[in-house]
DNA sequence: AAAGATTGATCTGTCAATCTTT
DNA sequence: AAAGATTGACAGATCAATCTTT
């Protein structure tokens, strides 16, 4: 009864969700326990720092991120108060703003990565061999490509 | 420079996160657009309904779920107000409570599944072949097994 | 004292409405 | 009128403190 293709998909999906929850909560708690920036903040700073001049328009940043536009405004507010990001007006469009990673933000991200990356490597290595990891990457790239293409 | 095993892991991880965000937001918006229970509620009701007598101790439910214990209390409050769940005292331990899915909750879950499952099947089929899906399931079961075992 | 669960205070997220510029 | 972004009002999540029972 549980053998048809639909149920296979449903159980694959459940595994997917369960593994995601497990891994993210583990990694996130490691960051918090070390008194570092949160995972969300890490993602935002990374998006900025990987862009030219450490900056992205609010709308571009929102597109990279899970948050709604208004949620992002508030998140950037907080990060600005914390000194990790600053806002700059867009030169050619007076409606627009850039979010820019500050030096402090760049440093905070580097510190977080120095905890996060080894731990990610640890966790990942403890659950998948290098070959399996490559297999998984290949599958997921296909997922992304077909989902967005 | 991006060829060592650590960077492979990091990029696999990014793909994993990106695909998760993409798929969950898509599916969740489908539920909301249909005026049905949220995805979180679906997960909670499913956990209850798959347990004996449609019930689980609060602490057991919390273990199945992302939420913190206090977060779960509040969520169950709301679901109780909505009539989808009721609380019953545990017979042998007067500290404890069961969360029990009501008939209305069982029905609401069935309705949500009738939207969610076909859409999940749609999405999943559009991004992975049946063989790929089986491969992914196999990999993820290993992840879960090794992460929790 | 520890376990099961809830509550108070506070922070974060979201929707709809708003403001400014195009 | 539409695009870029923020704000007000409210719902949801989280931490620590609390209460009850073991």
Q: What is the pLDDT of residues A48-98, one digit of tens each?
A: 999 999 999 999 999 888 777 889 999 999 999 999 999 999 999 999 999
By the CB < 8 Å criterion, does A22 face chain B? yes
Candidates A66, A120, A140; nearest CB to B9: A120
CA dihedral B80, B86, B87, B90 (to 10 degrees): -160
Please give the sequence-ordered ranges of beta strands (E in DSSP) within chain B, or none if there are none.
Answer: 55-57, 85-89, 97-101
Q: Work out how many CB contacts closer than 8 A connect A with B.
A: 124
Contact call for residues A122 and A128 (beta carbons, < 8 A): no
Task: Give the pLDDT of residue A137.
Answer: 86
- For strands B55-57 and A97-101, give the pairing: unpaired
**How far out from the chain centre does Cα A64 lie?**
9
For B1-13, what is each residue's pLDDT tens digit? 344 666 667 777 8
Contacts of residue A120, defined as CB under 8 A and 6 or more positions apart, other chains included, come to A27, B9, B10, B13
Using CA atoms, how far apart are residues A77 and A85, in angstroms rounded to an integer?
9
Rounded Cα distance, B149 and B143, in Å: 10
pLDDT for residue B5 = 65
**Nearest 5°: phi and psi at A89?**
-65, 145
Name the token pair of B52.
């004996």
Beta bridge partners of B57: B98
Q: pTM for the complete prediction?
A: 0.85
Q: How far is the CA of B111 from the C1' of C11 (A)?
A: 34
Q: Which residue has the tokens 């979180």?
A: B40
- Protein A4 CA to nucleic acid C22 C1', in Å? 54
Share in percent of chain B as helix, strand, coil (round to 5): 70, 10, 20
Hey, are the CB atoms on A140 and B19 less than 8 Å from each other?
A: yes
Residues A3-36 have pLDDT tens digits of 466 666 777 787 888 788 878 888 888 888 888 8
Higher pLDDT, B77 or B2: B77
Segment A105-130 mean pLDDT: 90
Residues 22-41, chain B: which have Cβ under 7 A from strand C?
Answer: 32
DSSP assignment of A39-73, as one string?
A: HHHHHHHHHHHTSGGGEEEHHHHHHHSSS-HHHHH
**pLDDT at residue A124 tops 90:** no
- A149: tokens are 């293409």
> Which pLDDT score, from 0 to 100, does residue B31 have?
85
User: How many Cβ atoms from other residues are within 10 Å of residue B43's Cβ?
Assistant: 17
- Cα angle A120, B141, A116 (rounded to 5 degrees) comes to 5
DSSP B95: T
Residue with tokens 């079961």: B141
Q: Which of A12, A65, A132, A142 to mutate to test the interface with B (most CBs of B within 10 A)?
A: A12
Residues A143, B15: Cα–Cα separation, whole Å: 9
Torsion of CA B37, B38, B43, B46, to 10 degrees: 10
């Amino acid at each position: 009864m549980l053998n048809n293709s639909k149920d296979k998909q449903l159980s694959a999906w459940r595994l997917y969700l369960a593994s995601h929850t497990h891994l993210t909560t583990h990694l996130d708690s490691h960051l918090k326990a070390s008194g570092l920036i949160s995972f969300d903040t890490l993602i935002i700073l990374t998006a900025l720092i990987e862009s030219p001049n450490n900056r992205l328009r609010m709308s571009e940043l929102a597109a990279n991120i899970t948050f709604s536009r208004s949620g992002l405004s508030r998140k950037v507010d907080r990060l600005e108060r914390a000194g990790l990001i600053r806002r700059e007006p867009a030169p050619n469009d007076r409606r627009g703003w850039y979010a820019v990673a500050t030096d402090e933000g760049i440093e905070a991200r580097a510190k977080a990565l120095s905890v996060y990356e080894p731990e990610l490597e640890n966790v990942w290595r403890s659950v998948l061999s290098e070959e399996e990891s490559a297999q998984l990457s290949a599958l997921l790239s296909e997922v992304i490509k077909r989902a967005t293409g």
